[in-house]
């Protein structure tokens, strides 16, 4: 499957908008907004079917050869807002979104998990979008991307996760990934410098370009152009001009659950559900110190997970590897104390609780920005607290010398399994918990009726014909699992239906 991004592409296939000037126009059968999991799959599928496709990506194309292990440089070039994007509400939830060719697939951990069938079937959409409809697309993608686990390069932080879970009699399993050739460099979050992670920028985007598609990078879609109630193209802002792309057959919006709703608003879509129903998977990290080297930088970034509490508390437990700059956010210390803690870097690890939150929020339009209003509710915090308590037990069962809760109101250090019950005293105020979310859903939800949804069962906007939403904005609920594979499967299903 690997089609490296440094291979020779046809002349004119990629246009870096940084080098363009003036008022430009172009045309295609379909215009795809976004080059992440949904956009890349749609572009590749439609190109293979013989259609002319133009992809617009707001961020730059950072080639594998130009990726850097330097944290500040990587975040500034690969992430929206250099990683400093937060929700508004009682919780300062950090939103991590890729802003580059490949989108968030460039900076995630390449996890390939199917959505639970009960979640898909629970959407009530019948054969248009249920587990049975997605099954052949899951299978095709898993084969094409050689999805499998990476236990041969797991690293100590992943082996300890498995050991801790098994010691307690809990289920733990290797995590299946889009990285069949993974070398265990632990660098997923700053981009895979070996090109082994099969992100969209090294696979389906080059594949589409070699098949005849065209990509404009650094081109921000401002609005869809319309005529007679139909989408007819996209107007994009370039660093030194504008681009108008005419779409003969339609526009596929794959801009993410944060950016998609306001793009549709600016295009005249007036559904009352647009921007509402924002859902996510808040992540809570927990650090520990061991008496022997762990060396998080060696091994798969996320190689093991446990669903021990998935049904009872809606949380997934995960191994995790972080760079020192991110690790510092998981340590309850500052100044000299933080420096002293980080001095034991080789002996540290961090694991995470990922919550299928039940709270919902909104994406609003504010002076061209996309602020997100969201606060986890009390039940969400109760479930997250139970997950952190379980991780603490696992850490001590795996041999941790100390566990470091990073929650206001708890001791900075727990030194034995006898102190695990201290978690029962942790506050249920969301301000006490640092949180991060990369899985975002629901702001242009699919439904049978325009009165309670933005897009119909074919993912076409109720209010704007020939404008389809293929990203996780359309998902009526969050999934409880990593969404990349399901986003790709839905996009493939929809693109094949359009092609036929």
Task: Say whether both 451 and 320 belong to one domain.
Answer: no
Catalytic residue IDs = 439
Q: How confident is the model at residue 3 (pLDDT cuts 50, 70, 90)?
A: low
Element holding 173 (H helix, E strand): strand 173-174
412 within a domain of the structure (yes/no) = yes
pLDDT of residue 4 exceeding 80 = no
Is residue 321 classed exposed, middle or buried when 0-12, 13-18 and 19+ CB atoms within 10 A define those classes?
Answer: buried
208 within a domain of the structure (yes/no) = yes
> Are the CB atoms for 129 and 163 separated by under 8 Å?
no
Three-state DSSP at 156 gives: helix
Q: Average pLDDT in the 311-320 region?
A: 96
Last residue within a domain, chosen from 434, 454, 471: 434
Q: Average pLDDT in the 330-358 region?
A: 89
| Domain boundaries, position 332 | 151-178+283-356+377-434
Task: Say whether both 313 and 298 belong to one domain.
Answer: yes
Q: Average pLDDT in the 315-322 region?
A: 95
Task: Say whether both 173 and 195 belong to one domain.
Answer: no
Task: Say whether both 411 and 480 belong to one domain.
Answer: no
Task: Say whether both 332 and 455 belong to one domain.
Answer: no
Task: Say whether both 230 and 345 belong to one domain.
Answer: no
Query: What are the tens digits of pLDDT across the range 147-189?
Result: 999 999 999 999 999 999 999 999 999 999 999 889 999 889 9
DSSP states of 289-302 as a string?
A: E-SS---TTSS-SS
Domain count, the chain: 2
DSSP secondary structure code for residue 30 in this structure: E
Element holding 499 (H helix, E strand): helix 484-499
Task: Say whether both 138 and 155 belong to one domain.
Answer: no
Which residue, 232, 248, 260, 332, is CA-closest to 289?
Answer: 332
Last residue within a domain, chosen from 434, 452, 478: 434
Q: What is the 3-state secondary structure (H, E, C) of 306-342?
A: ECCCHHHHCEEEEEECCCHHHHHHHCCCCHHHHHHHH
Q: Compute CA distances 498 → 40, 140, 432, whole Å.
A: 15, 18, 47
Task: Say whether both 315 and 459 belong to one domain.
Answer: no
Query: What are the tens digits of pLDDT across the range 410-447?
Result: 999 999 999 999 999 999 999 999 999 999 999 999 99
pLDDT score, position 324: 81
Q: Average pLDDT in the 207-228 region?
A: 97
118 within a domain of the structure (yes/no) = yes
pLDDT of residue 5 exceeding 80 = no
pLDDT of residue 194 exceeding 60 = yes
Q: Which residues pair with 350 in a beta bridge?
A: 287, 320
369 within a domain of the structure (yes/no) = no
Instruction: Find the helix packing angle between 131-144 and 484-499, rounded to 10°.
Output: 100
Q: Average pLDDT in the 95-112 region?
A: 96
DSSP states of 422-436 as a string?
A: GGGGS---GGGS--E
Task: Say whether both 460 and 423 belong to one domain.
Answer: no
CATH code, domain with 232:
3.50.50.60
Last residue within a domain, chosen from 396, 416, 434: 434
311 within a domain of the structure (yes/no) = yes
pLDDT of residue 496 exceeding 70 = yes
CATH code, domain with 319:
3.30.410
Task: Say whether both 410 and 452 belong to one domain.
Answer: no
Please count the residues of the chain: 500
364 within a domain of the structure (yes/no) = no
Task: Say whether both 227 and 118 belong to one domain.
Answer: yes
Q: How confident is the model at residue 84 (pLDDT cuts 50, 70, 90)?
A: confident
80 within a domain of the structure (yes/no) = no
Rounded Cα–Cα distance for residues 251 and 232 (Å): 7
Task: Say whether both 394 and 407 belong to one domain.
Answer: yes
Query: What are the tens digits of pLDDT across the range 8-60?
Result: 899 999 999 999 999 999 999 999 999 999 999 999 999 999 999 999 999 99
Q: How far is CA 446 from the centre of its chain?
A: 20
340 within a domain of the structure (yes/no) = yes
């Amino acid at each position: 499957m690997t089609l490296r991004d440094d291979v020779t592409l046809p002349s004119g296939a990629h246009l870096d908008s940084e080098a363009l000037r003036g008022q430009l126009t172009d045309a295609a059968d379909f215009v795809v907004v976004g080059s992440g999991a949904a956009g890349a799959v749609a572009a590749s599928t439609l190109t293979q079917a013989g259609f002319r496709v133009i992809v617009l990506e707001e961020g730059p194309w950072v080639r594998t050869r130009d990726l850097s292990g330097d944290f500040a440089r990587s975040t500034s070039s690969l992430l929206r807002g250099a990683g400093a994007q937060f929700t508004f509400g009682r919780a300062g939830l950090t939103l991590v979104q890729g802003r580059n060719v490949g989108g968030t697939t460039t900076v995630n951990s390449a996890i390939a998990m199917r959505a639970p069938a009960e979640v898909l079937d629970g959407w009530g959409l019948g054969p248009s979008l249920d587990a049975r409809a997605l099954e052949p697309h899951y299978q095709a993608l898993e084969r094409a991307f050689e999805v499998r686990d990476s236990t041969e390069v797991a690293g100590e932080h992943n082996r300890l996760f498995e050991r801790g879970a098994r010691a307690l009699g809990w289920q733990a399993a290797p995590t299946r990934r889009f990285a069949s050739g993974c070398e265990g460099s632990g660098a997923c979050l700053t981009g895979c410098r070996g090109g082994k992670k099969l992100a969209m920028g090294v696979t389906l985007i080059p594949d589409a370009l070699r098949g005849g598609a065209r990509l404009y990078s650094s081109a921000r879609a401002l609005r869809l152009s319309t005529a007679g109630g139909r989408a007819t193209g996209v107007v994009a802002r370039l660093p030194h001009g504008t681009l108008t792309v005419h779409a003969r057959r339609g526009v596929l919006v794959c801009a993410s659950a944060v950016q998609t709703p306001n793009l549709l608003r600016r295009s005249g879509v007036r559904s009352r559900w647009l921007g509402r129903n924002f859902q996510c998977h808040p992540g809570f990290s927990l650090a520990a110190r061991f008496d022997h080297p762990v060396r998080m930088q060696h091994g798969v970034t996320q190689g093991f997970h446990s669903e021990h509490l998935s049904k009872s508390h809606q949380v997934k437990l995960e191994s995790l590897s972080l760079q020192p700059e991110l690790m510092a956010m998981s340590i309850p210390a500052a100044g000299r104390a933080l420096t002293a803690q980080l001095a034991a870097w080789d002996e540290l690890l961090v694991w995470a609780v990922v919550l299928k939150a039940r709270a919902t929020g909104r994406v609003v339009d504010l002076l061209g920005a996309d602020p997100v209003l969201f606060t986890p509710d009390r039940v969400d915090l109760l479930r997250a607290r139970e997950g952190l308590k379980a991780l603490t037990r696992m850490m001590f069962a795996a041999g941790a010398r100390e566990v470091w809760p990073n929650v206001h109101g708890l001791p900075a250090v727990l030194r034995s399994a006898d102190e695990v019950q201290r978690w029962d005293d942790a506050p249920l105020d969301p301000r006490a918990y640092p949180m991060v979310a990369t899985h975002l859903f629901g702001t242009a939800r699919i439904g049978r009726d325009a009165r309670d949804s933005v897009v119909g069962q074919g993912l076409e906007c109720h209010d704007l014909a020939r404008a389809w939403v293929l990203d996780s904005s359309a998902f009526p609920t969050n999934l409880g699992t990593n969404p990349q594979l399901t986003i790709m499967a839905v996009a493939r299903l929809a693109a094949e239906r359009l092609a036929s």
